[in-house]
């Protein structure tokens, strides 16, 4: 339980607010390559430049050029960008009413390990983002979860101490990192479970 009144609720994005299907993106990116979609994803995720991409030290176009050169892809930049964004399911996980209700009483913040291409797509295509005026991305802070720095950036944006913040993520290690800083952590499993967990920590849902 929080030691004080909850002022801020901080949400992860991927698989909590937006479904992520990496295989769908990799299938499109793998066209013309000798790698299978799963092999392609392993090559990208294990690329030495992956942390730089996630933490904002590489521009979208430079990342495209780097990946294309390394893998021998012939996709144009716009084709690459469109394929990359197919990992994001267009149908949100949560109902809009949840954020509308929460936004009336709490400061809502997004906290995500993500990249500039996905940020541009998400902010343009998901209506629920309007309920999240506070957005902390790894690619704009130079740090990724579970680095304490990115959580502190979110708390700073929310103008709330850790004891008055709730953090929600589908990855337990990231929830534990938030808890270690004094935040209330909810390990996300489903929309129904989230509502129940919010109620448990005293969040007013209506």
Domain positions in the chain are 8-19+92-200, 22-86
**CATH (residue range 8-19+92-200):** 3.40.50.1000
- Domain at 22-86, CATH homologous superfamily: Putative phosphatase; domain 2 (1.10.150.240)
Asked if residue 132 lies in contact with residue 99, where contact means CB atoms within 8 angstroms, the answer is yes
Stretch 78-106: mean pLDDT:
97
Q: What is the pLDDT of residues 132-191, one digit of tens each?
A: 999 999 999 999 999 999 999 999 999 999 999 999 999 999 999 999 999 999 999 999
Q: Is the pLDDT of residue 91 over 50?
A: yes
In degrees, rounded to 5, the angle at the alpha carbon of residue 45 between the alpha carbons of residues 40 and 51 is 150
Q: Which residues are CB-neighbours of 70 under 8 A, at least 6 positions away?
A: 43, 47
């Amino acid at each position: 339980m929080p030691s004080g009144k909850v002022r801020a609720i901080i949400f992860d994005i991927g698989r909590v607010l937006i479904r992520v299907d990496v295989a769908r993106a990799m299938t499109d990116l793998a066209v013309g390559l000798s790698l299978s979609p799963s092999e392609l994803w392993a090559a990208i995720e294990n690329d030495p430049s992956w942390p730089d991409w996630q933490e904002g030290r590489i521009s979208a176009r430079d990342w495209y050029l780097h990946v294309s050169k390394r893998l021998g892809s012939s996709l144009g930049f716009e084709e690459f960008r469109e394929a990359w964004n197919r990992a994001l399911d267009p149908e949100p996980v949560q109902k809009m009413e949840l954020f509308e209700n929460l936004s009336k009483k709490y400061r809502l913040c997004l906290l995500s390990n993500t990249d500039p291409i996905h940020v541009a797509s998400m902010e343009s295509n998901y209506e629920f983002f309007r309920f999240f005026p506070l957005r902390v991305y790894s690619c704009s802070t130079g740090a990724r979860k579970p680095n304490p720095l990115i959580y502190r950036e979110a708390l700073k944006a929310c103008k709330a101490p850790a004891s008055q913040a709730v953090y929600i993520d589908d990855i337990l290690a990231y929830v534990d990192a938030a808890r270690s800083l004094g935040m209330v952590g909810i390990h996300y499993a489903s929309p129904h479970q989230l509502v129940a967990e919010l109620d448990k920590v005293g969040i007013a849902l209506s």
